[in-house]
């Protein structure tokens, strides 16, 4: 369980807020998606969870304990982190990339090797990939490795920052659903950031909508789709709704 | 020719050894200092600008000047530590060379290091933080390996610069491959100059290639190349430094100094011969600057060398009057002992005075026989001088005594100064009276009716700690009063002339025979 209370962050000494007094709860095992346009503060909010950014005000607790307890690098080893840039280490093999956090945690080599194979299997890649270099991979394969690396040290919580944003539509959809399967299979708590409401509606257990650092809506996909009072949120769900209706009409007409 | 090359090869182990030890140490020190600075600069833009600006500024100082400036600095520091803890350190030779070259090596290492580190993909840096690396782990496991190829390119540049610039350390008394170049230039021995260039360039090339091997090894994650490159560098360093270490383990002997011209080399070799025949071990420090030589002697860094009374009188004692030869010699002897503890063993018997000289034909045409005659024609003439004459007190004395104003004044290495007067690029030169080239080149020395030029008796000076060293004194005493100006001139000419050249060592042997020492 992750609880954010009155969280705020300013990058200009308080003149404006990237995150403006946001309170949010993520239940254990929940797949939580935060939707917003660029500049809405969603990425800043996500990065405060693993302390890549330190907030100015408010608090974050993870399973009842403040995340500020202990050094940041120890927290990050317990939280999986996947982002659009992927950031695979180009000087390491795929296997070494996946095994990096276990190695930091001092696992022995044999255990790491076994874990790498397990994870390649989990993200649907052949074991032979372990000895390859990241340069030789496609975009989709890279993000699968990024995902495997985030999961390597068996975290309970995974943070995803627009993880599939740079991929083509089909790969994005495939990976999204594969991740959802992994989320359930491993019983993870996931916080994902996206600007794509359709993606959020299809994957999330609960959706939060952010604009200008403020939380505008917080609810299950069904509620967001049908009961949103805020005009911005209604505007956001309008596009996927229209697209879905059109596709449904096309399918019906064509049959 | 073959004999010259053979002689040059004979000196190679010591010259190359020192060159390798010096540039290796400077480069290592430069790397050790620059690497953390590069890391700090890469992380903080506020540090980056001043650090790179200062390193760039150092680079703009001419390398010879940087080497020269460390000498007075170290001398002052040495005086401070001697006062504080009772121990000084040598301000000549290895230390100033090491410091100057270290500073010189820093800019390329810093610049490439910063470029390499700041050039690491921000996504990779974010990932390194995200997976839970500490700052240190991120530096060593991610940033350093990714920046290494770019940083290594900087190390290669620094290595080539340092090895090339190390040849200049000869001028502050540090033996290096530059000894070939400096003494070759002074004695017009172009074989020696080329030999020094080739040796230095060859060393730079080999080191650059080995560093290049390491660079590609780092870029391609090929451990084998890195190990081979590092191993070869280390093995080369140890191999080259072996003669130096072997020499250092032998008991220390006398150190004989010499300034940077042929006569000084010959006299240094002559003194060395005398000492070695008496069973002493001797090392030589050649190519010292005029004032540096005296300071080194006063600081007990060299034990003996030959200087000239007029030079000491004006530049060391700061005197502007010109008393007669014997009076000046006696007073100088007294003052050196009193002020510096330096003992004058005695005058060798000849003078090497500054003299203004012209081509005989040109002087005859203009009816110039004395400096007074010259003054009338000077506004139409070009003065060629050696590198220090124009900044010496004697020149100011002559200038004001006769009201000399030349059309232009040009400075040359002594070798080129004689060439210049020969082919008309200079009309008048600041010659040396013991120089064999005056007669050989058919020059005429202008008389000094006003006595503006002081006498320049060649004298053997002994370091303060050697003032009571009977063994040293006995070995060198036979030289006192024995060398006529004719003997010195002909010895100088055999080294300076274009054809049938002799090495200073051979000339010293011949001179010893001529004055009946053997």
- How far are the Cα atoms of A146, A209, B317, B353, B396 from residue B356, in angstroms, in the given order? 82, 94, 24, 10, 14
Question: In a mutagenesis test of the B interface, which of A75, A87, A93 is the best target, namely the one with the most B β-carbons within 10 Å?
Answer: A87
In this predicted model, what pLDDT tens digit does every residue of B305-353 receive, in sequence order?
999 999 899 888 988 888 888 899 999 999 999 999 999 999 999 999 8
The minimum CA-CA distance between A53 and chain B, rounded to whole Å, is 11
CB–CB of B129 and A76 under 8 A?
A: yes
User: What residues of B are in contact with residue A75 (Cβ under 8 Å)?
Assistant: 132
SS (H, E, C) A45-103: HHHHHCCCCCCCEEEEEECCEECCCCCHHHHHHHEEEEECCCCCCCCCCHHHHHCHHHH
- A165 phi, psi to nearest 5 deg: -60, -30
In this predicted model, what pLDDT tens digit does every residue of B205-249 receive, in sequence order?
999 999 999 999 888 878 899 999 999 999 999 999 988 887 777
Averaged over B19-28, what is the pLDDT?
Answer: 95
Strands, E assignment, B168-253: none
Averaged over B356-366, what is the pLDDT?
Answer: 92
Q: Residue ranges of the domains in chain A?
A: 35-41+77-254
The minimum CA-CA distance between A191 and chain B, rounded to whole Å, is 15
Among A76, A89, A90, whose Cβ lies nearest the Cβ of B132? A76
- 8 Å CB contact between B166 and B19: yes
In this predicted model, what pLDDT tens digit does every residue of B128-161 receive, in sequence order?
999 999 999 999 999 999 999 999 999 999 999 9
- 8 Å CB contact between B160 and B234: no
Residue with tokens 């009409």, as numbered in its chain: A249
CB–CB of B146 and A88 under 8 A?
A: no
In this predicted model, what pLDDT tens digit does every residue of B110-130 receive, in sequence order?
999 999 999 999 999 999 999
3-state secondary structure of A215: strand
Q: Which CATH superfamily is domain B2-248 in?
A: MetI-like (1.10.3720.10)
**Interface membership of A90 toward B (CB under 8 Å):** yes
CB–CB of B130 and A104 under 8 A?
A: no
The minimum CA-CA distance between A166 and chain B, rounded to whole Å, is 14
pTM, 2 dp: 0.75
**Interface membership of A74 toward B (CB under 8 Å):** yes
The minimum CA-CA distance between A226 and chain B, rounded to whole Å, is 37
b/e map of B487-510 (b: 16 or more CB within 10 Å)?
bbbbbbbbbbbeeebbbbbbbbbb
**Interface membership of A106 toward B (CB under 8 Å):** no
Q: How far apart are CA B306 and CA A90, in angstroms?
A: 65
Residue of A nearest to B133 (CA): A73
pLDDT at A32: 96
Residue with tokens 């089909």, as numbered in its chain: A170
CB–CB of A87 and B145 under 8 A?
A: no
- 8 Å CB contact between A218 and A208: yes
In this predicted model, what pLDDT tens digit does every residue of A105-136 receive, in sequence order?
999 999 999 999 999 999 999 999 999 999 98
What's the half-sphere exposure (Cβ side, CA atoms, 13 Å) at B292?
A: 28
Averaged over A209-237, what is the pLDDT?
Answer: 91
CB–CB of A87 and B133 under 8 A?
A: no
Among A74, A75, A87, whose Cβ lies nearest the Cβ of B126? A87
- The residues, ordered by sequence, that sit 6+ positions from B59 with a Cβ below 8 Å of its Cβ are B104, B107
Averaged over A58-78, what is the pLDDT?
Answer: 94
**Interface membership of A194 toward B (CB under 8 Å):** no
Residue A57's DSSP bridge partners are A8
Q: Is the pLDDT of residue B251 over 70?
A: no
pLDDT at B518: 66
Neighbours of A138 (CB within 10 A): 10
- The residues, ordered by sequence, that sit 6+ positions from B466 with a Cβ below 8 Å of its Cβ are B254, B303, B304, B343, B472
Residue of B nearest to A153 (CA): B131
> What is the total residue count of chain A?
255
Instruction: End-to-end CA distance of chain B: give it in Å, rounded.
Output: 27
A35-41+77-254 is a CATH 3.40.50.300 domain: yes
Tokens standing for B263?
């006569």
pLDDT at B5: 82
Strand order in the sheet with A57-62: A19-26, A2-9, A57-62, A65-66
Q: Are strands B457-462 and B304-308 parallel, antiparallel or unpaired?
A: antiparallel
- How far are the Cα atoms of B110, B279, B386, B438 from residue B106, in angstroms, in the given order? 6, 45, 34, 47
Tokens standing for B468?
């009571």
Please state, rounded to an integer, the average pLDDT across all residues of chain A: 92
Q: Which CATH superfamily is domain B254-351+455-514 in?
A: Periplasmic binding protein-like II (3.40.190.10)
Tokens standing for B467?
């003032």
What number does CATH give the domain B354-445? 3.40.190.120
- 8 Å CB contact between B15 and B180: yes
Q: Is the pLDDT of residue B262 over 60?
A: yes
User: What residues of B are in contact with residue A87 (Cβ under 8 Å)?
Assistant: 121, 123-128, 130
- 8 Å CB contact between A195 and A210: no
The minimum CA-CA distance between B108 and chain A, rounded to whole Å, is 24
3-state secondary structure of B111: helix
- The residues, ordered by sequence, that sit 6+ positions from A167 with a Cβ below 8 Å of its Cβ are A139, A140, A143, A175
The minimum CA-CA distance between B53 and chain A, rounded to whole Å, is 30
pLDDT at B33: 95
Q: How far apart are CA A164 and CA A142, in angstroms?
A: 11
User: What residues of B are in contact with residue A149 (Cβ under 8 Å)?
Assistant: 127, 131
> What are the residue ranges of CATH 1.10.3720.10 in chain B?
2-248
Q: Is the pLDDT of residue B1 over 60?
A: no
Q: Which residue has the higher pLDDT, B83 or B359?
A: B359
- pLDDT-derived band at B499 (thresholds 50, 70, 90) equals confident
SS (H, E, C) B294-328: HHHHHCCCCCEEEEEHHHHHHHHCCCCCCCCHHHH
Among B123, B137, B146, whose Cβ lies nearest the Cβ of A91? B146
- How far are the Cα atoms of A174, B18, B63 from residue B67, in angstroms, in the given order? 67, 16, 6
Q: Are strands A57-62 and A2-9 parallel, antiparallel or unpaired?
A: antiparallel
CB–CB of A104 and B146 under 8 A?
A: no
Q: Tell me the longest C-alpha to C-alpha distance in chain A.
A: 61
Q: Which residue has the higher pLDDT, B183 or A156?
A: A156
Please state, rounded to an integer, the average pLDDT across all residues of chain B: 89
> What are the residue ranges of CATH 3.40.190.120 in chain B?
354-445
Determine the Cα angle at A54 with ends A49 and A59, to 5°.
Answer: 65
> What are the residue ranges of CATH 3.40.190.10 in chain B?
254-351+455-514
Among B123, B124, B132, whose Cβ lies nearest the Cβ of A101? B132
């Amino acid at each position: 369980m992750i609880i954010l209370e009155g969280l705020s962050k300013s990058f200009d000494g308080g003149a404006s807020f990237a995150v403006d007094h946001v309170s949010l709860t993520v239940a254990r095992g929940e797949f939580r998606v935060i939707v917003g346009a660029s500049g809405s503060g969603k990425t800043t909010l996500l990065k405060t969870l693993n302390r890549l950014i330190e907030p100015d005000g408010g608090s974050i607790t993870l399973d009842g304990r403040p995340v500020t307890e202990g050094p940041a690098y120890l927290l990050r080893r317990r939280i999986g982190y996947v982002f659009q840039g992927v950031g695979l280490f180009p000087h390491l093999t795929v296997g070494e990339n996946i095994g990096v956090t276990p190695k930091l945690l001092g696992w022995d080599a044999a255990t790491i090797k076994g874990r790498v194979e397990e994870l390649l299997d989990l993200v649907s890649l052949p074991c032979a990939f372990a000895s390859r270099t990241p340069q030789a991979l496609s975009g989709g394969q890279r993000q699968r490795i990024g995902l495997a690396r985030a999961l390597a040290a068996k975290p309970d919580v995974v943070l995803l920052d627009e993880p599939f944003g740079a991929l083509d539509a089909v790969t994005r959809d495939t990976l999204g659903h594969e991740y959802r399967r992994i989320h359930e299979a491993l019983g993870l708590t996931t916080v994902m950031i996206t600007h794509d409401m359709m993606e959020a509606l299809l994957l999330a257990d609960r959706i939060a909508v952010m604009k200008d650092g403020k939380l505008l809506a917080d609810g299950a996909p069904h509620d967001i789709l049908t009961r949103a009072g805020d005009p911005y949120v209604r505007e956001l769900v309008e596009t996927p709704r229209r697209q879905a209706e059109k596709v449904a009409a096309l399918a019906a007409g064509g049959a | 020719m073959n004999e010259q090359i053979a002689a040059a090869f004979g000196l190679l182990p010591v010259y190359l050894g020192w060159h390798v030890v010096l540039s290796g140490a400077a480069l290592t020190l430069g790397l050790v200092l620059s690497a953390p600075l590069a890391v700090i600069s890469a992380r903080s833009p506020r540090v980056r600008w001043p650090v790179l600006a200062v390193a760039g500024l150092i680079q703009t100082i001419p390398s010879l000047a940087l080497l020269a400036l460390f000498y007075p600095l170290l001398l002052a520091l040495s005086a401070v530590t001697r006062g504080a803890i009772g121990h000084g350190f040598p301000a000549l030779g290895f230390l100033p060379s090491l410091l100057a070259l270290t500073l010189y090596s820093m800019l390329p290492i810093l610049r490439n290091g910063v470029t390499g580190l700041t050039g690491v993909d921000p996504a990779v840096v974010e990932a390194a933080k995200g997976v839970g690396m500490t700052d240190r782990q991120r530096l060593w496991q991610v940033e350093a390996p990714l920046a290494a190829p770019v940083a290594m390119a900087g190390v290669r540049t620094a290595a080539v610069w340092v090895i090339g610039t190390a040849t200049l350390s000869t001028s502050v008394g540090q033996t290096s491959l530059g000894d070939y170049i400096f003494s070759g230039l002074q004695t017009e021995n172009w074989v020696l100059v080329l030999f020094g260039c080739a040796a230095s360039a060859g060393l730079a090339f080999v080191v650059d290639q080995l560093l290049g091997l390491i660079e590609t090894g780092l870029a391609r994650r090929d451990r084998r190349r890195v190990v081979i490159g590092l191993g070869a560098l280390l093995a080369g360093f140890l191999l080259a430094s072996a003669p130096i270490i072997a020499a250092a383990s032998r008991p220390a002997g006398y150190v004989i100094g010499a300034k940077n011209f042929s006569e000084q080399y010959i006299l240094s070799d002559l003194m060395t011969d005398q000492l070695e025949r008496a069973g002493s071990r001797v090392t030589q420090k050649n190519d010292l600057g005029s004032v540096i030589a005296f300071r080194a002697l006063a600081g007990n860094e060299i034990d003996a060398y030959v200087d000239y009374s007029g030079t000491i009188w004006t530049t060391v004692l700061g005197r502007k009057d010109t008393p007669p030869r014997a009076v000046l010699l006696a007073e100088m002897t007294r003052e050196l002992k009193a002020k510096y503890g330096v003992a004058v063993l005695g005058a060798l018997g000849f003078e090497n005075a500054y003299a203004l000289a012209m081509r005989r034909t040109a002087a005859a045409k203009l009816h110039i026989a004395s400096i007074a005659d010259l003054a009338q024609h000077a506004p139409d003439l070009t003065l060629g001088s050696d590198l220090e004459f124009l900044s010496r007190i004697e020149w100011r004395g002559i200038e004001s005594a006769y009201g000399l104003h030349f059309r232009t004044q040009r400075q040359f290495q002594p070798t080129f100064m004689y060439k210049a007067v020969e082919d008309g690029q200079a009309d008048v030169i600041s010659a040396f009276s013991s120089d064999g080239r005056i007669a050989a080149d058919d020059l005429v020395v202008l008389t000094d009716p006003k006595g503006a030029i002081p006498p320049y008796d060649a004298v053997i000076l002994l370091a303060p700690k050697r003032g009571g060293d009977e063994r040293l004194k006995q070995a060198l005493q036979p030289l006192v009063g024995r060398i006529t100006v004719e003997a010195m001139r002909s010895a100088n000419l055999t080294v300076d002339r274009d054809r049938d050249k002799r090495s200073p060592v051979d000339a010293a042997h011949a001179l010893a025979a001529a004055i009946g020492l053997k």
